[in-house]
Structure 1
Amino acid sequence: MKLMAYVKKLKIKGDTRTYKLSSDIKKYTLRDVGFVESKNGKFQLERSLDPNSPFNKGLKFKMAITSNLKTFKMLATSANGLNEVNIYKSTDADVHIEQLNYILEELEKRHVLEKIGQKLSENENL
């Protein structure tokens, strides 16, 4: 993952929503949703943002959580995983955003993440 600091809350580049780790987060839940525990106890998740094939060389969603489950980092990256990208400005942005939303919603349902802020877009009603 890109060398960015672990934080308590963050936004994915280009997104208006801010997330934090859920206060109900559990290590077994992280394993259930696909996180892999490293030797030093950190949990890492990597998912393709290509809804047609998880094996295509496309944009990726990456997330890492410290072993004490207090801080994390997450970002969308290029196919090689080295560069952070703004999927909201990518080609096929709507497809990538839909896949990202699916991943984030699943992490919210499973009490890994909590949304703590979101600006309404012009299309959304109050």
Structure 2
Amino acid sequence: MAFKQEIHLPDCQYRYAISPKIKKYTLRDTTFFENKIGHYELTRLLEEVPNSNQGFPLKIIVNKELTGFKLTITDQSGLRSVNIFKSEQHKIFQDKFYFLMNSLVERGIFDKFTV
């Protein structure tokens, strides 16, 4: 999957774009770490019950030039994409995703647009 400037996950009510105000130090402050290649990576487990280790891994990678990103939500194995927005059954996962993304929008990493 290539880096994109804008991503809309299926059935999500928002689309997210890389902010022109993004800074490397802001990424580090929000717990992104620099991987071997130089890209910035954030991995979070969207859990229904905190510390249960049962949920869906969310992975965000911002390229080292800060011009594009990847955003995926997968099953526990990390091999298949999961659509947490398809069902009301996953409401708690949706809320946790929106909470995390809103905090990244507030810090100037992403811009959020209503679909």
CA displacement at 1:48 relative to structure 2: 1.2
CA shift, 1:90, in A, is 5.2
Query: How many pairs align?
Result: 115
Could you list the structure 1 runs, at least 4 aligned residues long, displaced by more than 3 angstroms after superposition: none
Q: Is 1:25 aligned with 2:22?
A: yes
**SS class of match (1:67):** coil
5+ residue gaps, structure 2: none
Q: Which residue of 2 aligns with 1:122?
A: none
The answer to whether 1:6 aligns with 2:3 is yes
Q: 1:45 aligns with which of 42, 46, 53?
A: 42
Compare 43-52 and 88-97 and name the one that shifted more. Answer: 88-97
Match of residue 103 from structure 1: 100
Q: CA RMSD in A?
A: 1.6
Q: Aligned partners of 1:51 and 1:110: how far apart in 2?
A: 25
SS at match of 1:48: strand
Cα deviation code 1:65-108 (max 9, x no counterpart): 11000011102111122211100135741100000010110000
Structure whose residues are more often strand by fraction: 2
Measured in 2, the distance between the counterparts of 1:63 and 1:6 equals 11
Question: Kindly tell me: are residues 118 and 33 of structure 1, through their superposed partners in 2, closer, same or farther at Cα, counting changes over 3 Å?
Answer: same
